Structure 1
Amino acid sequence: MRKDEAMTVEFLIHAIVRQTMILIAQLATLGGGRAPLAQVANQVFVDLVRELERQGVSRKVSADMFGLGLRTYRRKIQRLSESSTERGRSLWEVVLEFIKARGPVTRSEVFARFARDDEAQLRAVLRDLCESQLVVSIGPASKARYRAATEEELADLRNNQSAEGYDDFLVALMYREGPMTLEEIAGHAQVEVGMIEAPIERLVASGRIQTTVEGGVTRYRAGALVIPLGASSGWEGAVFDHFKAMVSTILVKLREGETAQADDRVGGSTYTIDVWKGHPLEDEVLRTLGRIRSELSDLRKRVNEQSGDKKPKEYSRVVVYAGQCVIPEENT
């Protein structure tokens, strides 16, 4: 890669990160809510490290990409991926286990138990556990004691999640990433396995997801994902599915390394059209998304009618995504 190309890619990365942060901030504060974000920065680093390793990038090269010495890089991975007090297990996991076994406990008792771990990281874990409602803080902040949520409280949390479209999100996850084990689903959703067991059982019973057992290991998959237009819940799954489709398309195009052509089977296009009240084509432009939805729904229906149950072992999954927004502007 030439120096000018490397700079352009760097600018692109910064721009994508910026737009992604805007999206995360909007989701985190939607409807006046305050979603827990304490672990997001650390999660971004750890997930990026894992993806680089999955693509065959050595740790020495990865460390250089992050501007860190190899030893510092390894220490940071270890600090964020596992507890220094209990090797091989995440700090989030062992702190929750400790509170479950010994709670209510004070912050000082948590710090003493995990004395080899960074206090700032411990505070972030405690805050995240409380905001996730897996742990309950009792008393004023200066003298707070922590206990694990009861089964009744967890059941209420699960019911609230399903009411807010949690089921649709899980179906979307398994449709795009499956087949997956319970542990893999929980890892993607950043929750404990116990938090998804009831929703998974409900989805299996309703037929929305299917199971396969191989070598004694149960995996879950979704054969279809349909979130009706106008549905009052399920938008979370729809947002994830749209974002995943867009990212997958860009990744495939980057790997192919080809420039855009008129007859592309993989790619994307963005069109910006300015219209105003009374413009002769205003209505036609504003109805573009509706036309695309109608055409693609009809095409999918005809394909399904022709295919029936005759899908062979090898086939091509064509993912088409469409989006439209209308932004008020004014001339200056």
Structure 2
Amino acid sequence: MASLVVQQAIGALQTSGPSSSFGCRQDILSVPVKLGLKECKFSNGYPMWNRFSSSQKHSCVIQASTSQASVVDTMSLPSNRISEKLKKPNEAALILIRHGESMWNEKNLFTGCVDVALTKKGIEEAIEAGKRISNIPIDMIYTSALIRAQMTAMLAMTQHRRKKVPIIMHNENEQANLWSEIYSEETRKQSIPVITTWQLNERMYGELQGLNKQETAERYGKEKVHEWRRSYDIPPPNGESLEMCAERAVAYFKENIEPQLQSGKHVMIAAHGNSLRSIIMYLDKLTSQEVISLELSTGIPLLYICKEGKFMRRGSPVGTTEAGVYAYTRRLAAYRQKLDDMLQ
């Protein structure tokens, strides 16, 4: 059995990557692959053997420096545990938060894609949202390109018990990447990347932006304004319909965010009423009639669990005072227990 493993390992090395004159990879690192009573190290493509006593433990890993990928040592696990390890599904948390009250929300103005900040109440809503999600793991944050969504995400994270720092990624150009580089590996581990994108923006309200909602209803009629605001496929003058907003928001979610969730990354999205309604429509498989009646409150997070390619809505966490609120899955419960142990 051991000789077969070695032959397969050498064969894999000989058939991949740039070769030396011996036909083997030059960039192979010499590191530990389980071979019973012997340990094998590769040097210039040739196996070198060291014999150990039967009482010693031996391990062997073959690693290529270019990919940093390692061969999993399955020989050390019983076959049933190997099967369990390979079949174990990824499970991840998805948090959706509509931004807190903005200055134009307070003035009852159509805001759309106009970039206005939060009010004092909006700041308080964002902080309260953070308290509700303070025990849920977060690996990545996505926000719209608008400041009210970014403020909400940042303020919410000030309440998280893990105390990782959200850092906005600047990928506009090579210089922006270079100037925002982090050179401490420890600091990098204590950071959460924040990715901003216009595809998660509120829908563009066209010629209604900046107008008072009540005055607009008096001018155009309540039924017409209600049609612009609540229909699925009728846009306001020179603006976007909910359907148009959904096309960009859902496409971005499926292409960029969903793969992160399926790989086991925990994600928070801070965005807007209509971009989030669009994503919820996709997650909950709502019809165009069902989504137009969906209301999202400012600053109230919604939790989904992504497992085996399916999304399960868990509602809004009620806060840190309820002991069992995060026990929606064993993984989230274990994460909270880990935080309790760390911070005692």
Same fold judged by TM-score > 0.5? no
Higher relative contact order (CA 8 A, sep 6+): 2
The structure having more radius of gyration, on CA atoms, is: 2
Bucket of the pairwise TM-score, normalised by the shorter protein: under 0.3
Which structure has the highest helix share of the two?
1
TM-score, structure 2 as length reference: 0.20
